[in-house]
Amino acid sequence: MFIINILSLIVTIAGALNTGLVGFFNYNFLGMILGGPVEGTYSILARIIFAIIGLGGLWALSFFAKPALFVNSNKKEG
């Protein structure tokens, strides 16, 4: 479960940062990497929401600095 938690956090942060790039700069980094569309047409409301999600991704990067996240809860004491 520990590995799944770390992998899901990495995927969530990558998605949020990519969404933030779309919101702030109208640029799809993952689209460039994976061969999809790089720029799209989005409403201002959609871009604001994308930007907020991107800021959440930046905040989630701080979770890697918290040691409690990496403690393996499957270990039994005693």
Give pLDDT tens digits for 48-73. 999 999 999 998 888 887 766 556 66
Domain tally, the chain: 1
Domain coverage including residue 21: 2-70
Question: Is residue 32 in some structural domain?
Answer: yes
Domain membership flag for residue 14: yes
Domain membership flag for residue 78: no
Residue 77 within any structural domain of the chain: no
DSSP letter (8 states) at residue 4: H
Instruction: Identify whether 64 is part of a domain.
Output: yes
Selected residue with higher pLDDT from 7 and 70: 7
Does residue 75 sit within a domain? Answer: no
* For residues 15-20, average pLDDT: 94
pLDDT tens column, 32-47: 888 877 788 888 898 9
Q: Considering the domain boundaries, does residue 76 fall inside one? A: no
What is the pLDDT, as a whole number, of residue 2?
78
> What local confidence, expressed as pLDDT, does residue 37 receive?
79
> Is the full-model pTM beyond 0.85?
no
In a domain, 9, yes or no: yes
